[in-house]
Amino acid sequence: MRGLEITTVKSIKSTEFCYGVKQAIKIALDTCANNENKKIFMYGPIVHNDDVIFNLQKKGIQCVNKIDKITKNDVLIIRAHGISKLEYNKIINIGATIVDATCPYVKKIHKIVSKEFKNMRKIIIIGNKKHSEVKGINGWCENSAEIIEHEHEIDDIFLKKIKNFNSDICIVSQTTFNKKYFEKIIYILMEKIKNIKYFDTICESSSTRQKESEDIAKNSDIVFVIGGNKSSNTNKLFEICKEFCENVFKIENAEETKKYKHLINKTSKVGITLGASTPDSSVKEVLFELSKIYDL
Arithmetic mean of pLDDT, 105-125: 97
For residue range 50-66, list pLDDT tens digits in order: 888 999 999 999 999 99
Is residue 8's pLDDT more than 60? no
Q: In which band, very low, low, confident or very high, does the pLDDT at 293 lie, cut at 50, 70 and 90?
A: low
For the domain with range 112-198, which CATH number is right: 3.40.50.1820, 1.10.260.40, 3.40.50.300, 3.40.1010.20? 3.40.1010.20
133 catalytic per annotation: yes
Domain boundaries, the chain: 9-16+204-293, 19-102, 112-198
For the domain with range 9-16+204-293, which CATH number is right: 3.40.50.970, 3.40.1010.20, 3.40.190.10, 3.40.50.300? 3.40.1010.20
Global pTM value: 0.87
Domain 9-16+204-293 identical in fold to domain 19-102:
no
Is residue 27's pLDDT more than 60? yes
For residue range 224-282, list pLDDT tens digits in order: 999 988 888 899 999 999 999 999 999 988 889 889 888 887 778 899 999 888 888 88
Is residue 12's pLDDT more than 60? yes
For the domain with range 19-102, which CATH number is right: 3.40.50.720, 3.40.50.10860, 2.30.40.10, 3.40.50.11270? 3.40.50.11270
Per the CB < 8 A criterion, the answer to whether 108 and 131 are in contact is: no
Q: In which band, very low, low, confident or very high, does the pLDDT at 13 lie, cut at 50, 70 and 90?
A: confident
Mean of the per-residue pLDDT values for the chain?
90
Find, among 154, 145, 236, the residue nearest to 187 by Cα. Answer: 154
Q: In which band, very low, low, confident or very high, does the pLDDT at 6 lie, cut at 50, 70 and 90?
A: very low
Arithmetic mean of pLDDT, 31-49: 92
Distances 68 to 85, 136, 141, 161 between C-alpha atoms, Å:
16, 18, 23, 36
Active-site residue, selected from the candidate residues 16, 116, 133, 149 = 133
pLDDT at 198: 96
Between 204 and 106, whose confidence is greater? Answer: 106
- Write a three-state SS string for the chain: CCCCCCCCEEECCCCCCCHHHHHHHHHHHHHHHHCCCCCEEEECCCCCCHHHHHHHHHCCEEEECCHHHCCCCCEEEECCCCCCHHHHHHHHHHCCEEEECCCHHHHHHHHHHHHHHHCCCEEEEECCCCCHHHHHHHHHHCCCCEEECCHHHCCHHHHHHHHHCCCCEEEEECCCCCHHHHHHHHHHHHHHCCCEEECCCCCHHHHHHHHHHHHHHHCCCEEEEECCCCCHHHHHHHHHHHHHCCEEEEECCHHHHHHHHHHCCCCCCEEEEECCCCCCHHHHHHHHHHHHHCCC
Between 103 and 163, whose confidence is greater? Answer: 103
